[in-house]
Amino acid sequence: MRTRVIAGNWKMHKTVAEGRALARAIREGLGGAPSCEVILAPPFTALEAVGAEIAGSPIGLAAQNVHWEEAGAFTGEISPRMLEDVGCSAVLIGHSERRQYFGETDRTVNLRVRAALRSTLAPIVCVGESLADRESGRHEDIVAQQLAGGLDGLTAGDLERIILAYEPVWAIGTGRTASPETAQEMHGFIRRTLAGKFGADAGRVRIVYGGSVKPDNTAALMRQPDIDGALVGGACLEAKSFLGIIRHEP
Ligand code: PEP
């Protein structure tokens, strides 16, 4: 009932030419229509070129961040309209690297989510606890707090366009994937929390897992009832491994 989504977060990797080549290899490697939704999130500089490469294919284009104003004196920022203009249909918001290194807070996540919802962009909202939070048993409190702040003021109808990404910080780029059971526990918790806030519509929200997803651990993760796809970092930078994840056998 929920279409799986596999999204690749290229982070600060790939020049325009490299991005074009990777997007082409993924498009060609996919062949026909994949059984899941596929999204590429290159850096801003490669959005247009990657968008042109995947035009007419089932692959979607996402940015890695968005500002909440439409235009103005905000040096270094990019508005929702600019992202729509280059063909984006989605945007990552609140990635842990933005929270950790660039002062992103639940408040700014919320502003970005609301701005995306005012546009046509689908927000992919990232939440997740640090290792210290997990070891002190506060992981659910932290994620509940991120959900409350990041989704503040939204309606059940807004949920239709949102994808949530659970990305435990201790699993990102570390090679230490959450076990399918650990990930499922948190995905179930996220869905129950959303149901408490928004009601039955929570059953329709896609919640994807991120944190060292590789071709050989994808199927076990995807077998969990509340895991609806993956947000992939390192393994999306090469067509072979990203295609291996897309072609997982659930
Ligand atoms: C990410 O940064 O969103 C991510 C999940 O990275 P990796 O797959 O490299 O852990």
Q: What is the pLDDT of residues 197-206, one digit of tens each?
A: 999 999 999 9
Paired with 128 in beta bridges are none
- Specify the residue with its C-alpha closest to ligand 1, atom 1: 233
Instruction: Choose the residue to mutate in 39, 167, 208 for probing ligand 1, maximizing ligand atoms within 8 Å of C-beta.
Output: 167
pLDDT band, very low/low/confident/very high, at 1 (cuts 50, 70, 90): confident
Mean pLDDT across 216-240: 97
Q: In whole angstroms, what is the distance from residue 185 CA to residue 7 CA?
A: 21
pTM of the model: 0.97
What confidence score (pLDDT) does residue 175 get? 86
The label of the residue with tokens 């408040």 reads 107
CATH class of 5-246: alpha beta
Q: Return the number of other C-beta atoms located less than 10 Å from residue 157's C-beta.
A: 10
Can you give the pLDDT at residue 72? Answer: 97
Range 58-67 average pLDDT? 98
State the amino acid at position 162 in one-letter form.
Answer: I
Give whole-number Cα distances, 191 to 7, 198, 201, 203, 230, in Å: 20, 10, 10, 7, 16
Lowest mean pLDDT among 60-74, 170-184, 224-238: 170-184
Q: What is the mean pLDDT of the chain?
A: 96
Q: Is the pLDDT of residue 250 over 90?
A: no
What pLDDT, on the 0 to 100 scale, is given for residue 189? 98
Angle, vertex CA 183, rays to CA 179 and CA 185, nearest 5: 120
Burial of 203 (0-12, 13-18, 19+ CB in 10 A): middle
pLDDT for 205: 97
pLDDT tens profile 10-53:
999 999 999 999 999 999 999 878 889 999 999 999 999 999 99
List Cβ neighbours of 143 (8 Å cut-off, separation of 6 or more).
127, 128, 129, 166, 186, 189, 190, 193
How far, in Å, CA of 219 to CA of 224, rounded?
9
C-alpha distance from residue 132 to each of 98, 109, 170, 223 (Å): 18, 22, 9, 28
Residues 120-158 have pLDDT tens digits of 999 999 999 999 999 999 999 999 999 999 999 999 999
Query: Residue 126 has what pLDDT?
Result: 98
pLDDT for the residue numbered 249: 63
Is the C-beta atom of 126 inside 6 A of ligand 1?
A: no
Q: Is the CB of 96 under 6 A from ligand 1?
A: no
Task: Answer yes or no: is the C-beta of 9 below 6 A from any ligand 1 atom.
Answer: yes
Q: Mean per-residue pLDDT for 81-101? A: 98
Chain centroid, CA 40 distance in Å: 10
Q: Where are the domains of the chain?
A: 5-246
pLDDT tens-digit series, residues 156-198: 999 999 999 999 999 998 889 999 999 999 999 999 999 999 9
Q: How far apart are CA 223 and CA 6, in angstroms?
A: 14
- Residue located via tokens 């945007």: 91
Instruction: Report whether pLDDT(242) > 70.
Output: yes
Residues known to be catalytic = 95, 167
